[in-house]
């Protein structure tokens, strides 16, 4: 009996799914997961988890896990040993660099991997290869939020902690299906709403669970959030309801900003958004009268052609009403993946070193040049979107990507897959064969979070450690180990034997993480950046000003032009998003039997009005056609959507994948695909 007990072990880890960053103990016997047990000490979630954190782990023991490196041989792959794979990849990288130049290589990091791994990806790209062509998959979701906050308040992260959202008097969610995408965070809002009289306003195209609970729920026309946000801000200023003391002390550019608001009248807002102006005036009054306002937003805001500007408009509104720099207020972009925040924080971005220091800043670059012993490129590199374009134009020949099924999650996947076919050399590192590996020259088998150590940073800038719950399967390696091997083969012996050494280096180089150490993150301890050298962290930002030289935030003038509309030919708008049970494209959650059984593969939500008009019933099948491609799906008739709005879950596979429909349009300031701006026509395949 003693022997048996010894094999049962309890290990702390951090959830690998959404950005709430729940941490918990995982009970295992060898590789078998006995249970997931939340711990009252968990800083983000206490004793709560959702279905994904609790049951979403079967993929770790899936038979489909890759165990050996694969090298392409004609239409198939041959299994090889690590030495051969690493030598081959290094040789091809070197050849391409010598023949075409370092900027013909591009690197894409994953926000499912650890902070240390993001750090190494940009080190590999910058130090070893000599290019700033490094980015991560937050380009597909949250880059516009980061941009909007940078411009106004100087830090691209949540203003406070999740507990601050619960302390707000008024919470506004915009373009966020919070209950399904960030379940544990949503439960905090639900509780505050129910028990403590917190007000909840929801702006969304779709009537989801939070909309049902909200005190006010509005469905603005797609892509027009910037207009109502700016009109509400203008109205507050016109009425003299702004927080003048806050503006005087902490904010620049008020006059230019006011000037830019001229066109955002209530008439215009009503016309563009479809929300009656009386309602918007009441919203303005409620915001002005409320002492503490927190605004949460997600991809319904960011994945538009004006995603960065709309995020900026949110921040402008918060500044005008003094809702920064105290408990219970602020901006909360709700990060999607577990480590969307950290992956950008640790430097896998074409223009930033770790901690958001510009590659063009000589002082910063010299610091890294000294530490790494090479000259580094100053000019920003290509982001993910530019990399795909550059492959098509012959300016990029090689991509190395880990932890990302780019051929499914990027927009306009037909175009992306064509680019993959044109690459001279394509390396994909993942747990499984995916759609993307079909195009790879080399596939390197990686390990999931349960089989490695490292840190993740959740949506509230909280850095947390994960411990090895089980030994890796024989064969695959952690992303950080694979990159360390590659660097060595390419002549740079980094010599890391544990992720803590990588964090130590990052903390030394990036002031934002100066005091981050593994000791300070022991067990359930965590740190919210910025972290000072003595270990003081920052649960709440902007307590004494904003990170600009004069400590003042900036109101950022905006314009609006409606760039997207349905047309006579493509007369319906397709919205898309997550389901509670599945995560993103579903590469992990589909492998969890409990989850797969509970949810249908995919569906198209159609409003009762539209179903009636087109003579189609529940269970029918439709073909959706956009100017980029076509997809098919089974019909669900529901009043969650209205009029000519359709809704597709993100996890659709094969012929129902939503990215068969999305095109090449992007947010103008961040190049994030405008996933939410798809116009389609609908053909009926089967009526019922
Ligand atoms: Fe928590 Fe998100 Fe994981 Fe659910 S998916 S357990 S809410 S971190």
Question: Which residue of 184, 336, 588 sits with most ligand 1 atoms within 8 Å of its CB, as the best mutation to test the pocket?
Answer: 184
Q: Which atom of ligand 1 is nearest to the CA of 16?
A: 3
Q: How far apart are CA 208 and CA 199, in angstroms?
A: 17
Question: Which residue of 16, 25, 50 sits with most ligand 1 atoms within 8 Å of its CB, as the best mutation to test the pocket?
Answer: 50
Buried b / exposed e along 225-262 (16+ C-beta atoms within 10 A):
bbbbbbbbbbbbbeeebbbeebbeebbbbbeebbebbe
* pLDDT of amino acid 465: 97
Q: How far apart are CA 348 and CA 364, in angstroms?
A: 16
Assess whether pLDDT exceeds 80 at residue 654: no
Which of 138, 592, 139, 149 minimizes the C-alpha distance to 336?
Answer: 138
Question: Which residue of 47, 183, 578 sits with most ligand 1 atoms within 8 Å of its CB, as the best mutation to test the pocket?
Answer: 183
Q: Is the CB of 96 under 6 A from ligand 1?
A: no
- Region 10-28: mean pLDDT is 92
Q: Which residues have C-beta within 8 Å of that of residue 651, sequence separation ≥ 6?
A: 578, 579, 582, 583, 584, 585, 586, 589, 590, 601, 602
Q: Which atom of ligand 1 is nearest to the CA of 338?
A: 8
Question: Which residue of 52, 55, 341, 580 sits with most ligand 1 atoms within 8 Å of its CB, as the best mutation to test the pocket?
Answer: 52
- Reported as a single tens digit per residue, the pLDDT across 129-188 is 999 999 998 777 778 898 999 999 999 889 999 888 999 999 999 999 888 888 888 888
- Reported as a single tens digit per residue, the pLDDT across 494-508 is 999 999 999 999 999
485 — pLDDT class (breaks 50, 70, 90):
very high
Atom 1 in ligand 1: residue holding the nearest Cα: 22
Q: Pick the range with the lowest mean pLDDT from 14-23, 416-425, 657-666, 676-685.
A: 657-666
Q: How far is the CA of 53 from the centre of ligand 1 (A)?
A: 5
Cβ neighbours, 10 Å, residue 591: 21
Pairing type for strands 442-445 and 425-430 reads parallel
Atom 4 in ligand 1: residue holding the nearest Cα: 50
Assess whether pLDDT exceeds 60 at residue 600: no
* Four-way CATH pick for 85-140+339-528: 1.20.120.1770, 3.40.50.740, 3.60.60.10, 3.30.720.200: 3.40.50.740
* pLDDT of amino acid 54: 86
pLDDT top residue among 536 and 629:
536
* pLDDT of amino acid 92: 98
* pLDDT of amino acid 404: 85
Q: Is the CB of 20 under 6 A from ligand 1?
A: yes
Evaluate the omega torsion of the peptide bond into residue 82 and state whether it is cis, within 30 degrees of 0: no
Q: How far apart are CA 341 and CA 334, in angstroms?
A: 10
- Region 32-36: mean pLDDT is 93
The runs of H, that is alpha helices, within 101-140 are: 115-123
- Region 264-276: mean pLDDT is 97
* pLDDT of amino acid 334: 87
Q: Is the CB of 50 under 6 A from ligand 1?
A: yes
Question: Which residue of 14, 182, 466, 651 sits with most ligand 1 atoms within 8 Å of its CB, as the best mutation to test the pocket?
Answer: 182
Fold of 143-334: Dimethylsulfoxide Reductase; domain 2 (3.40.228)
Q: Is the CB of 52 under 6 A from ligand 1?
A: yes
Q: How far is the CA of 645 from the centre of ligand 1 (A)?
A: 29
Q: How far is the CA of 178 from the centre of ligand 1 (A)?
A: 12
Q: How far is the CA of 12 from the centre of ligand 1 (A)?
A: 15
Atom 2 in ligand 1: residue holding the nearest Cα: 18
Over the chain, what is the mean pLDDT?
A: 91
Q: How far is the CA of 21 from the centre of ligand 1 (A)?
A: 6
Q: Is the CB of 629 under 6 A from ligand 1?
A: no
Q: How far is the CA of 47 from the centre of ligand 1 (A)?
A: 12
319 — pLDDT class (breaks 50, 70, 90):
very high
Q: pTM of this prediction? A: 0.90
Q: Could you give the count of Cα atoms lying within 13 Å of 155 in the half-sphere of its Cβ?
A: 28
Q: How far is the CA of 52 from the centre of ligand 1 (A)?
A: 6
Q: Please check whether residue 311 is in contact with residue 302, taking contact to mean a CB–CB distance below 8 angstroms.
A: yes
Q: How far is the CA of 582 from the centre of ligand 1 (A)?
A: 11
Q: Is the CB of 53 under 6 A from ligand 1?
A: yes
Q: Is the CB of 49 under 6 A from ligand 1?
A: yes
Q: Could you give the count of Cα atoms lying within 13 Å of 503 in the half-sphere of its Cβ?
A: 23
pLDDT top residue among 472 and 509:
509
Q: How far is the CA of 56 from the centre of ligand 1 (A)?
A: 10
Q: Is the CB of 69 under 6 A from ligand 1?
A: no
pLDDT top residue among 569 and 99:
99
- Region 101-106: mean pLDDT is 98
* pLDDT of amino acid 587: 58
* pLDDT of amino acid 593: 61
Q: Is the CB of 17 under 6 A from ligand 1?
A: yes
Q: Please check whether residue 273 is in contact with residue 220, taking contact to mean a CB–CB distance below 8 angstroms.
A: yes
Q: Which atom of ligand 1 is nearest to the CA of 24?
A: 6
- Region 280-294: mean pLDDT is 97
Assess whether pLDDT exceeds 70 at residue 655: yes
Assess whether pLDDT exceeds 90 at residue 295: yes
Q: Please check whether residue 368 is in contact with residue 361, taking contact to mean a CB–CB distance below 8 angstroms.
A: no
Assess whether pLDDT exceeds 90 at residue 466: yes
* pLDDT of amino acid 132: 98
Q: How far is the CA of 499 from the centre of ligand 1 (A)?
A: 24
Atom 3 in ligand 1: residue holding the nearest Cα: 53
Q: How far apart are CA 684 and CA 688, in angstroms?
A: 10
- Region 478-483: mean pLDDT is 98
pLDDT top residue among 69 and 626:
69
Q: How far is the CA of 180 from the centre of ligand 1 (A)?
A: 10
Query: So where are the chain's domains?
Result: 2-61, 85-140+339-528, 143-334, 572-686
Q: Is the CB of 15 under 6 A from ligand 1?
A: yes
Fold of 572-686: Barwin-like endoglucanases (2.40.40)
Q: Is the CB of 45 under 6 A from ligand 1?
A: yes
Q: How far is the CA of 547 from the centre of ligand 1 (A)?
A: 31
Considering the domain 2-61, what is its CATH architecture?
Single Sheet (2.20)
Q: Is the CB of 183 under 6 A from ligand 1?
A: yes
- Reported as a single tens digit per residue, the pLDDT across 557-596 is 998 887 767 888 999 988 887 655 544 455 565 566 655 5
* pLDDT of amino acid 48: 87
Quote the percentage of the chain above a pLDDT of 90. 70
Atom 6 in ligand 1: residue holding the nearest Cα: 53
Q: Which atom of ligand 1 is nearest to the CA of 21?
A: 8
pLDDT top residue among 575 and 125:
125
- Region 14-39: mean pLDDT is 92
305 — pLDDT class (breaks 50, 70, 90):
confident
- Region 540-550: mean pLDDT is 95
406 — pLDDT class (breaks 50, 70, 90):
confident
Q: How far is the CA of 533 from the centre of ligand 1 (A)?
A: 30
pLDDT top residue among 119 and 17:
119
pLDDT top residue among 77 and 3:
77
- Reported as a single tens digit per residue, the pLDDT across 61-90 is 999 999 999 999 999 999 999 999 999 999
Q: How far is the CA of 477 from the centre of ligand 1 (A)?
A: 25
Question: Which residue of 13, 16, 22, 36 sits with most ligand 1 atoms within 8 Å of its CB, as the best mutation to test the pocket?
Answer: 22
Instruction: Return the SS3 of 54.
Output: helix
Q: How far is the CA of 449 from the centre of ligand 1 (A)?
A: 14
Q: How far apart are CA 13 and CA 523, in angstroms?
A: 9
Quote the percentage of the chain above a pLDDT of 70. 94
């Amino acid at each position: 009996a003693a022997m048996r007990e010894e094999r049962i072990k309890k290990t702390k880890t951090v959830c690998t799914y959404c950005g709430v960053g729940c941490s918990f103990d995982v009970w295992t016997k060898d590789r078998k997961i006995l249970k997931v047990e939340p711990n009252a000490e968990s800083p983000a979630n206490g004793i709560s988890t959702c279905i994904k954190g609790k049951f979403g782990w079967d993929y770790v023991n899936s038979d489909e896990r890759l165990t050996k490196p694969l090298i392409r041989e004609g239409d198939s792959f041959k299994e090889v040993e690590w030495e051969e794979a690493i030598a081959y990849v290094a040789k091809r990288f070197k050849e391409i660099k010598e023949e075409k130049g370092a900027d013909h290589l591009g690197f894409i990091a994953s926000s499912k991997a650890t902070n240390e791994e993001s750090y190494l990806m940009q080190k590999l790209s910058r130090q070893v290869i000599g290019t700033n062509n490094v980015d991560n998959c937050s380009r597909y979701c949250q880059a516009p939020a980061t941009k909007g906050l940078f411009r106004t308040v100087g830090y691209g992260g949540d203003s406070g902690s999740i507990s601050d959202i619960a302390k707000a008097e008024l919470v506004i969610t915009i373009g966020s299906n919070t209950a399904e995408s960030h379940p544990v965070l949503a439960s905090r809002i639900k509780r505050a709403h129910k028990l403590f009289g917190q007000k909840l306003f929801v702006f969304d195209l779709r009537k989801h669970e939070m909309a049902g609970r909200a005190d006010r729920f509005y469905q603005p026309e797609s892509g027009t959030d910037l207009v109502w946000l700016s009109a509400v801000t203008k109205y507050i200023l016109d009425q003299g309801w702004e927080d003048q003391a806050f503006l005087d002390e902490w904010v620049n550019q008020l006059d230019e900003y006011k000037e830019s608001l001229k066109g955002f009248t209530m008439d215009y807002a009503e016309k563009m958004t479809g929300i009656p102006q009386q309602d918007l005036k009441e919203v303005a009054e409620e915001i002005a009268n409320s002492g503490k306002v927190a605004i949460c937003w997600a991809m319904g805001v960011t994945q538009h052609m004006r995603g960065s500007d709309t995020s900026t408009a949110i921040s402008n509104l918060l500044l005008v009403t003094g809702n920064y720099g105290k408990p219970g207020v602020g901006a909360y972009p709700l990060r999607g993946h577990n480590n969307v925040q950290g992956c950008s924080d640790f430097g896998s971005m074409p223009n930033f070193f770790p901690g958001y220091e510009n590659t063009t800043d000589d002082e910063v670059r010299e610091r890294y040049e000294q530490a790494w012993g090479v000259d580094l490129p100053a000019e920003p590199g290509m982001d993910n979107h530019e990399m795909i374009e550059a492959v098509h134009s012959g300016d990029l020949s090689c991509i190395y990507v880990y932890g990302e099924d780019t051929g499914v999650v990027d927009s306009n996947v037909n175009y992306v897959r064509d680019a993959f076919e044109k690459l001279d050399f394509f390396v994909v590192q993942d747990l499984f064969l995916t759609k993307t590996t079909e195009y790879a020259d080399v596939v390197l088998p990686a390990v999931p979070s349960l089989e490695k150590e490292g840190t993740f940073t959740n949506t509230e800038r909280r850095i947390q450690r994960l411990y090895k719950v089980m030994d890796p399967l024989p064969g695959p390696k952690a992303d950080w180990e694979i990159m360390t091997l590659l660097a060595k083969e390419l002549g740079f012996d980094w010599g890391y034997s544990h992720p803590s050494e990588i964090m130590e280096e990052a903390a030394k180089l990036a002031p934002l993480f100066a005091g981050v150490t593994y000791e300070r993150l022991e067990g359930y301890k965590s740190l919210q950046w910025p972290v000072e050298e003595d270990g003081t962290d920052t649960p709440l930002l902007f307590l004494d000003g904003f990170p600009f030289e004069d400590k003042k935030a900036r109101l950022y003038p905006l314009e609006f032009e409606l760039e997207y509309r349905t047309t006579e030919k493509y007369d319906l708008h397709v919205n898309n998003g997550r389901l509670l049970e599945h995560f993103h494209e579903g590469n992990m959650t589909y492998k969890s039997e409990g989850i797969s059984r509970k949810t249908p593969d995919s569906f198209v939500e159609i409003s009762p009005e539209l179903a009636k008009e087109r003579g189609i019933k529940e269970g029918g099948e439709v073909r959706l056609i956009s100017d980029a491609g076509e997809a098919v799906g089974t019909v669900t008739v529901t009043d969650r959507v209205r009029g000519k709005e359709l809704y597709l879950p993100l996890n659709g596979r094969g012929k129902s994948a939503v990215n068969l429909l999305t095109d090449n349009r992007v947010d103008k300031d961040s190049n994030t695909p405008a996933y939410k701006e798809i116009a389609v026509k609908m053909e009926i395949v089967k009526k019922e």
